[in-house]
C-alpha cells in the first residue's frame, strides 16, 4: 500500500514538472511596444527642445527684434551726428546682427568701423574697415574704407625713436589706395599722409645713425645714412643725413692721417 502511494506521488510530481517545463512564457509584446513608444516620444521631445534652444533667435520662441532695420539705421546715424559714438555703435551692431541680409547691413558695417574710429578704438576699427573692403570691393564707400584703414595705423604712429611698424603699415596702405583707387578723392588725400609717413621713417633712420655716430660706430652709421638717403631722398632728414655722412668721412680721413 505504501509503495503504491509513493509511486502515485512520484507520478504526480513528474507530471507537474513536465507541465511547468512546457508552459509558454507570458507575452511581453504589448509591454515592450508601449515602452518603445514612450522612449521614442521622450527622445523626440528632447530633440525638439534642443533645436528650439539652438535656433531660439529664429523667432519661434526667441524674442523678436524691438526695432526695424531702418529704425536702427536712423537711430545710429542720429547718435553719431550728435557725437554719441558708443550709442551709435550699439545701434549699428544690432542692425547687422538682427538683419544681416538687410539692404542696410552694408552701411551698418562701415558705420561700425566709423564709430570705433571716433572712439579712438583704432585696432577694432581697422578690423572692420578691412572686412568691409574684402566683402565690398566695388562699393562706392570702399575707397574711404581703405583710407580710414590706413588712418587707423597712421593714428598709432609713434615717435621716431620708437617702433615704426604703424608708419610702415600706414604708408603701404596709402600707396595701395593710390594705386587701386587712383581716381578717388581719397587717393589725393593720401598724398600728404604718405609724405608724413616717409618723413617719420626717415627720421627713425637718422636717429639710429646719429646714435651710432655718437658712439663712434662709424661703419654702422654710414650704412644707416646710405639707407636713409636712398630710400627717402626728398625728405629733410635725408639732407641732414648727407651732412652727417660728410662729417663722418672727414672724421675718418683725419683719423687716417693721425
pLDDT digits (tens, 9 = 90+) for 74-126: 999 999 999 999 999 999 999 999 999 999 999 999 999 999 999 999 999 99
Query: What sign results for the dihedral spanned by CA atoms 27, 29, 32, 33?
Result: negative
Query: What per-residue string of b and e applies to 53-79 under the rule 16 or more CB within 10 Å gives b?
Result: eeeeeeeeeeeebeeebeebbebbeeb
Q: What is the pTM of this model?
A: 0.73
Residue 39 lies inside a defined structural domain of this protein: no
Q: Taking residues 211-233, report their average pLDDT.
A: 97
| pLDDT tier at 9, thresholds 50, 70, 90 | very low
pLDDT for res 254: 82
Residue 229 lies inside a defined structural domain of this protein: yes
Residue 97 lies inside a defined structural domain of this protein: no
* CATH for 165: 1.25.40.10
pLDDT for res 66: 85
Residue 111 lies inside a defined structural domain of this protein: no
Q: Taking residues 152-162, report their average pLDDT.
A: 95
pLDDT for res 25: 52
Distance (Å, rounded) from C-alpha 115 to C-alpha 76?
10
Distances (CA, A) of 1 to 4, 9, 15, 125, 154: 5, 13, 21, 113, 123
Distance (Å, rounded) from C-alpha 179 to C-alpha 93?
32
10 Å CB burial of residue 136 (0-12, 13-18, 19+) is middle
Distance (Å, rounded) from C-alpha 111 to C-alpha 19?
89
Whether 58 has a pLDDT exceeding 70, the answer reads: no
Which residue, among 216, 209, 211, has the nearest Cα to 241 in the 3D structure? 209
Whether 12 has a pLDDT exceeding 50, the answer reads: no
Please give the mean pLDDT across all residues of the chain. Answer: 84
Q: Provide the residue range defining the domain that includes 161.
A: 157-257
Residue 164 lies inside a defined structural domain of this protein: yes
Whether 59 has a pLDDT exceeding 90, the answer reads: no
Q: Taking residues 191-210, report their average pLDDT.
A: 97
| pLDDT tier at 185, thresholds 50, 70, 90 | very high
pLDDT top residue among 99 and 39? 99
Q: Taking residues 142-157, report their average pLDDT.
A: 98
Q: Taking residues 155-160, report their average pLDDT.
A: 94
Whether 54 has a pLDDT exceeding 60, the answer reads: no
Which residue, among 231, 224, 223, 218, has the nearest Cα to 206 in the 3D structure? 224
Residue 27 lies inside a defined structural domain of this protein: no
Whether 48 has a pLDDT exceeding 50, the answer reads: no
Whether 186 has a pLDDT exceeding 80, the answer reads: yes
Distance (Å, rounded) from C-alpha 134 to C-alpha 138?
10
pLDDT digits (tens, 9 = 90+) for 114-142: 999 999 999 999 999 999 999 999 999 99
Whether 246 has a pLDDT exceeding 90, the answer reads: yes
Whether 157 has a pLDDT exceeding 90, the answer reads: yes
Residue 121 lies inside a defined structural domain of this protein: no
Whether 210 has a pLDDT exceeding 70, the answer reads: yes
Whether 201 has a pLDDT exceeding 70, the answer reads: yes
Poorest-pLDDT segment among 40-44, 65-69, 154-158, 180-184: 40-44
pLDDT for res 159: 92
Residue 190 lies inside a defined structural domain of this protein: yes
Helices in 155-235 by DSSP H: which ranges? 165-180, 185-214, 218-231
Q: Which residues contact 25 (CB under 8 A, 6 or more apart)?
A: none
Looking at the structure of the chain, the number of domains it has is: 1
Amino acid at each position: 500500500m505504501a509503495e503504491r502511494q509513493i509511486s502515485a506521488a512520484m507520478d504526480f510530481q513528474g507530471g507537474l514538472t513536465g507541465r511547468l517545463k512546457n508552459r509558454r512564457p507570458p507575452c511581453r509584446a504589448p509591454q515592450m511596444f508601449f515602452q518603445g513608444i514612450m522612449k521614442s516620444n521622450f527622445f523626440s521631445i528632447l530633440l525638439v527642445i534642443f533645436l528650439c534652444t539652438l535656433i531660439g533667435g529664429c523667432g519661434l520662441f526667441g524674442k523678436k527684434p524691438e526695432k526695424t532695420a531702418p529704425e536702427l539705421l536712423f537711430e545710429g546715424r542720429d547718435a553719431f551726428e550728435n557725437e554719441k559714438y558708443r550709442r551709435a555703435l550699439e545701434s549699428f551692431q544690432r542692425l547687422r546682427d538682427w538683419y544681416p541680409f538687410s539692404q542696410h547691413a552694408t552701411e551698418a558695417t562701415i558705420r561700425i568701423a566709423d564709430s570705433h574710429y571716433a572712439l579712438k578704438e583704432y585696432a577694432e576699427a581697422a578690423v572692420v574697415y578691412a572686412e568691409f573692403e574684402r566683402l565690398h570691393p566695388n562699393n562706392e564707400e570702399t575707397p574711404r574704407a581703405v583710407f580710414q584703414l590706413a588712418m587707423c595705423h597712421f593714428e598709432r604712429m609713434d615717435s621716431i625713436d620708437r617702433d615704426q611698424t604703424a608708419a610702415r603699415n600706414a604708408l603701404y596702405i596709402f600707396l595701395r589706395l593710390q594705386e587701386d583707387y587712383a581716381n578717388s578723392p581719397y587717393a589725393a588725400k593720401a598724398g600728404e599722409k604718405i609724405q608724413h609717413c616717409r618723413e617719420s621713417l626717415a627720421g627713425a633712420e637718422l636717429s639710429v645713425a646719429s646714435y651710432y655716430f655718437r658712439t663712434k660706430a662709424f661703419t654702422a652709421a654710414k650704412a644707416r645714412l646710405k639707407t636713409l638717403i636712398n630710400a627717402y631722398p626728398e625728405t629733410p632728414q635725408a639732407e641732414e643725413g648727407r651732412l652727417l655722412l660728410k662729417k663722418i668721412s672727414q672724421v675718418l680721413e683725419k683719423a687716417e692721417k693721425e
